[in-house]
Structure 1
Amino acid sequence: MTEHETQVHGDCDPRFAAVRTAFEANFRERGELGAAVTVTLDGRTVVDLWGGWADAARERPWERDTLVNVWSTSKGPTALCAHLLADRGLLDFDAPVAVYWPEFAAAGKEQILVRHLLSHRAGLSGLREPHTLQQLCDWELTTRRLAAMEPWWAPGTQSGYHALTYGFLVGEVVRRVSGMLPGAFLEREVTGPLGIDFAIGLPEKDSGRAAELVHSPSASSSEQAAVFGQLAPAALAALANPVVGAAQANSPEWRAAEIPAANGHGTARAVAALYGIFAGRGSYDGRRVLSPEAAERVREGQGSCRDLVLGAGFDGETEVGLGLWLSGANGSYGPNPRAFGHDGFGGSCGLADPEAGVSLGYVMNRMGPHIADDPRKMELVDALYSAL
């Protein structure tokens, strides 16, 4: 190893050596700063690697228990909360949202179903009125504004990625049914009992373990303005109201807030475990979390289409299930079109493939420019499937 190579720590089953090779190459060839990757096969951990630096100054090594904000990879655990309630007969995905959240019926939203929230088809991709970061951290204000607003498009007809609003919409239904915000519900029902190191809203006691997010060199402000200027109003609301990035996500306010679509903090091990519940058809570590039917339902496709928010970033159509995206023709989660998962802004990923019996969690702190299918993630996914 030369002085410029990053030392990688952890364990890797020889069968999956290609994953280690790809992980090491991400540091050497793709600008990785600090990262971790975990793979489970039939519930057994076969890859658990980490390396690099937890900060831009390269003064804090990435440790086995380093946490990092995983952005929209958080949506999988948030969806899991809703599926737990549905599995217990407490939540009906085919019921109008207003059955559980009466105020939501305002502005023509009486017929929006719970399944529309889970599948990004509610027409509420972002708020219509300007919304600041401080306001985003205010659960009551944000959910009140969502309940009052008019949809951007006819609900149920097409998906439009609900980048930040997803967690408040699904999360408020979880709160109305369970009496708990999704972060507390997830901890009580899943992460606490199973010892999974993941939190929606990071406790202060764990803030010292959090990696610093770092933006890669990005386009100039004029180029960014030109891109935003071409977005349809529904997409602009989803992606830029408010604008959030590494600087905001490193703040104590963001870390402590409840933003279930975007501020889950965890290790790669934790992400692989949470998505492993779906890969294990509802079981994890020998314990049943969901019924097999409920675990299968998360990938119940709601119809392929050109997403109204993400359409420009993908060739052709995509399909989202009840909370997670199908691999489909894009191969985002490997060659099985029925594999599914979720990416996080800048690179992270959680993947589940019940047919192959695998789950993958990938987390990192140097954010790339991609909303999904970051090249580092795709190299790891390709390497995983080459070993199966």
Structure 2
Amino acid sequence: MKTRNFLTALGVASLVGAALSTVPASAAPPDLQVESVLLSRSSVAVSSLNTVPVTVTVKATYKLGTANQPMYVELNSYESKHTYSTQVFSEPLKLISGTPTDGTWEGKVNVPSTADGRLDVSTVYAGVLNRSLKAKTPDNDPVSGVSLAVTGLHIPKITRKLSVSPVPFGKAYSVTWQVLDSRTNKPYGTRLKVLHPKGDACLEAKGSAGALLTNAAGVIVTQHAPAEADRLNCLLIPGTQAPIDDHIALVPRPGIVAATPDKTSAKVGTTVSVKGNVAGITYGCPVNLQKLSGATAWRTLRSAKLSVTSRYTLPAQVAALGKGTYRVQFPACQNTLAGVSKSFTITGV
């Protein structure tokens, strides 16, 4: 599964287990401690939508271990030759020797072609691997120095074409998705299974339940209600523990800026508050108060960050007698295009 920087922008909790800082000498050791992780192969070649199973063996101690409790391994291709990083999870690893608190677990990881490059073991998880954004992260222990060389051939590529772009607020839209062979830039020539969850479910999909079929050209068209433009839109190629490929993104939105001064005239040397909002999900994005200088040039006077409700307040300093022309400018941010408010005047008296 691809990791995306929009997760942070949306305030969504990361699915990737964060590396633990060094444990102070006075702190108790973590409940899960990994002694070793071994992969049955040092390299694999994987083509198109196939996966290649690789056996993974974990030796660990787990204070909270119980009978029939599995382990899971997470692998990431941060140095992938592909255009994004790929996140892969193993099947449940079963205890093959020792005890649930001190033993050896073994299972397989299904390696996709999208992991082209180097696939690194990053984390071992104990307990249920629940990838829900609302679930508590299970006990985990970071791992380093264990990797698999992956040669990906005919790697899939998912493209997206919107019926209208940017998508207007309050309007329904459709998306034409296509799965192509990135090497030939042509379809695979057969109907393909894909998943089309919505919203946060794009980040939680597992298995192939509810899969849809593309046509022989790898195309599927999805219909969307107006409100879905402010949620994640995605198409996934199903895997076992995580999709083997995905396209997850918000749709582009127009930059619609509202700005209103609380006064249209004020004494020279005082300030006028300019308030407004930017349509859409624009929390944390900048806005700039600008003043017309000459016939066409706009000079930025003040900047601010948009609130959780996408609102702002900017102070306009009245520096001279007579009318001054102002506007609020929004630079392109996240999925919202650049935009400006209607200009307005403030008269210095």
State the TM bucket, normalised to the shorter chain: under 0.3
Work out which of the two has the higher radius of gyration on C-alpha atoms and give 1 or 2.
2
Structure with greater proportional helix content: 1
TM-score of the superposition, structure 2-length normalised?
0.22
Structure with greater proportional strand content: 2
TM-score of the superposition, structure 1-length normalised?
0.21
